């Protein structure tokens, strides 16, 4: 165990992992996920310290997840990434080739896509922030977290443009703001700004800024442009810094609202928030938009990822016309 800088209690391996994760500006979600898998790896290995283990024990753990745990391929990869980070960044050790692990099967699944009428039925059963966020997921092709994390400066209502900053893979992109949402979004921004002014008057008003922007741009955390477009109803304590701030609207609340709306609309498909983004892409392709344009709006690195939507176009199986319809 390492000794902390103040001469207090020795740092545990988990404490050191958290320190390195924060030093490298990993998100809170990633930090909690990595710590979870590091602890599971240690428990699986009988409490042994990772320094005493290596490739054999790592392969055994990952194979156990696939065989006994029956986890999805993405879950196994997440565990692998966490353990790789532990060895490379925290323990400064290479773990070598892991070719002997049993890989979890990665079934090829087509995305769940709603029809236009199903989308309208779903949205009509939502109100408030969940309706606005869901409208942006379908109308602009946003992921859920991209939508709830929007800042005031990311919405250009005059140009009808929306900037997604630090999206999946750390990439920025520009997408469209639905014209029919401009008025509601303008009202939402006015509400968020009034809430921010109240926070400032009460001695608060600072918002979380990514990386080291708070130190680089003094006072930026209190500026209106950096505030969340969809602020939470109440202030909360930052789990890392301990500061009391107003975070963004909770993604779980949106997920629950969408799930309830799907049920009330009588939609039998296994639809979720992400189905709205899938529907955005599919409906654009159905309308004749170029696949490269859709790729840019979605923020896909490779057009092959976008190609999956060509298989779910509303033109029959594999986008062909049935011979029965040609008689």
- CATH code at position 243: 1.10.443.10
Residues 209 and 251 in one domain: yes
pLDDT band of 317, cuts 50, 70, 90: very low
Phi, psi of 265 (to 5 degrees): -80, -5
Q: Average pLDDT of 212-226?
A: 84
Check if 274 is active-site: yes
Residue 143 has pLDDT above 80, yes or no: yes
- CATH code at position 62: 1.10.150.130
Residue 321 domain flag: no
pLDDT band of 171, cuts 50, 70, 90: confident
Residues 174 and 251 in one domain: yes
Average pLDDT score over the chain: 89
Residue 297 domain flag: no
Residues 120 and 268 in one domain: yes
HSE-CB at 157 with a 13 A cutoff on CA atoms is 14
Residues 152 and 264 in one domain: yes
What is the distance between the alpha carbons of residues 279 and 285, in angstroms, rounded to a whole number? Answer: 10
pLDDT band of 325, cuts 50, 70, 90: low
Q: Average pLDDT of 170-196?
A: 95
What is the distance between the alpha carbons of residues 61 and 219, in angstroms, rounded to a whole number? Answer: 47
Last residue of a domain, one of 56, 90, 124: 90
Check if 24 is active-site: no
25: left (phi over 0), alpha (psi -120 to 50) or beta: left
Residue 215 has pLDDT above 80, yes or no: no
Percent of the chain with pLDDT over 90: 69
Q: E strands along the chain, which residues?
A: 2-3, 10-11, 155-156, 161-164, 173-176, 236-237, 244-245
Sign, CA torsion 283/163/239/78: positive
| pLDDT on residue 323 | 64
pTM over 0.85: no
Residue 101 has pLDDT above 50, yes or no: yes
Strand partners, 38: none
pLDDT band of 5, cuts 50, 70, 90: very low
Residues 129 and 264 in one domain: yes
Long-range contacts of 121-124 (CB under 8 A, 24+ apart): 121/265, 121/266, 121/267, 122/258, 122/261, 122/262, 122/265, 122/267, 122/271, 122/276, 123/261, 124/265
| pLDDT on residue 227 | 97
Check if 168 is active-site: yes
pLDDT band of 109, cuts 50, 70, 90: confident
Reference 280, options 165, 127, 175, 159; nearest CA is 175
Check if 29 is active-site: no
Check if 93 is active-site: no
Residue 311 has pLDDT above 80, yes or no: no
Residues 228 and 146 in one domain: yes
pLDDT in tens, 235-290: 999 888 889 999 999 999 999 999 999 999 999 999 999 999 999 999 999 998 99
Residue 105 domain flag: no
Q: Residues 18, 131, 143, 196: which is the catalytic one?
A: 143
What is the distance between the alpha carbons of residues 184 and 157, in angstroms, rounded to a whole number? Answer: 11
Sign, CA torsion 302/83/75/58: positive
- The answer to whether 225 touches 151, Cβ cutoff 8 Å, is yes
What is the distance between the alpha carbons of residues 143 and 136, in angstroms, rounded to a whole number? Answer: 9
| pLDDT on residue 219 | 85
Length of the chain: 327
Residues 32 and 144 in one domain: no
Reference 60, options 32, 87, 36, 79; nearest CA is 79
Q: For the chain, what is the domain count?
A: 2
Residues 249 and 171 in one domain: yes
Q: Average pLDDT of 284-297?
A: 92
pLDDT in tens, 59-74: 999 999 999 888 888 8
Q: Residues 89, 168, 173, 222: which is the catalytic one?
A: 168
Looking up tokens 């054999």 gives 56
Residues 159 and 205 in one domain: yes
Residue 266 domain flag: yes
Q: Residues 149, 246, 277, 283: which is the catalytic one?
A: 277
Residue 290 domain flag: no
Residue 4 has pLDDT above 80, yes or no: no
Q: Residues 40, 153, 165, 274: which is the catalytic one?
A: 274
Q: Which residues contact 27 (CB under 8 A, 6 or more apart)?
A: none
Residues 124 and 248 in one domain: yes
Which residue segment(s) compose the domain that 141 sits in?
Answer: 116-274
pLDDT band of 7, cuts 50, 70, 90: very low
Cα angle, residue 128 at apex, residues 126 and 130 outer, rounded to 5°: 60
Last residue of a domain, one of 236, 254, 274: 274
Residue 185 domain flag: yes
Strand partners, 248: 231
Residues 48 and 192 in one domain: no
Q: Average pLDDT of 93-112?
A: 79
In this predicted model, which residue has the larger pLDDT, 27 or 50? 50
Reference 277, options 290, 294, 265; nearest CA is 294
Residues 59 and 120 in one domain: no
Helix 28-44 crosses helix 13-23 at what angle (to 10 degrees)? 150
What is the distance between the alpha carbons of residues 244 and 236, in angstroms, rounded to a whole number? Answer: 5
Residue 284 domain flag: no
pLDDT band of 75, cuts 50, 70, 90: very high
Residue 285 domain flag: no
| pLDDT on residue 315 | 53
Check if 143 is active-site: yes
- The answer to whether 285 touches 309, Cβ cutoff 8 Å, is yes
């Amino acid at each position: 165990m390492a000794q902390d800088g103040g001469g207090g209690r020795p740092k545990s391996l988990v404490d050191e992992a958290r320190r390195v994760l924060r030093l490298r500006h990993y998100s809170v979600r990633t930090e909690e996920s990595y710590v979870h898998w590091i602890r599971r790896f240690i428990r699986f290995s009988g409490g042994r310290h990772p320094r005493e283990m290596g490739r054999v024990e790592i392969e055994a753990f990952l194979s156990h997840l696939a065989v006994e745990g029956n986890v999805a391929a993405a879950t196994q990869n997440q565990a692998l990434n966490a353990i790789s980070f532990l060895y490379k960044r925290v323990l400064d050790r290479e773990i070598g080739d892991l070719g002997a692990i049993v890989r979890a099967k990665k079934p090829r699944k087509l995305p769940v896509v709603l029809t236009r009428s199903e989308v309208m039925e779903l949205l009509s059963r939502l109100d408030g922030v969940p309706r606005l966020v869901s409208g942006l997921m379908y109308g602009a092709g946003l992921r859920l977290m991209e939508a709830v994390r929007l800042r005031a400066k990311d919405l250009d209502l005059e140009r009808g443009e929306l900037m997604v900053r630090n999206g999946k893979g750390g990439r920025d992109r520009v997408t469209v703001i639905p014209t029919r949402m401009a008025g509601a979004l303008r009202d939402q921004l006015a509400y968020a700004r009034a809430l921010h002014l109240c926070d400032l008057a009460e001695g608060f008003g600072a918002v979380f800024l990514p990386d080291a922007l708070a130190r680089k741009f003094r006072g930026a955390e209190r500026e209106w442009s950096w505030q969340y477009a969809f602020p939470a109803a109440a202030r909360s304590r930052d789990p890392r810094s301990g500061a009391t701030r107003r975070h963004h609207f909770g993604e779980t609340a949106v997920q629950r609202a969408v799930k309830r709306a799907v049920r009330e609309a009588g939609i039998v498909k296994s639809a979720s928030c992400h189905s709205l983004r899938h529907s955005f892409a599919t409906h654009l392709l159905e309308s004749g938009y170029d696949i490269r344009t859709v790729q840019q709006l979605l923020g896909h690195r490779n057009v092959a990822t976008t190609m999956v939507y060509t298989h779910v176009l509303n033109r029959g199986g594999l986008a062909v016309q049935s011979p029965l319809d040609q008689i």
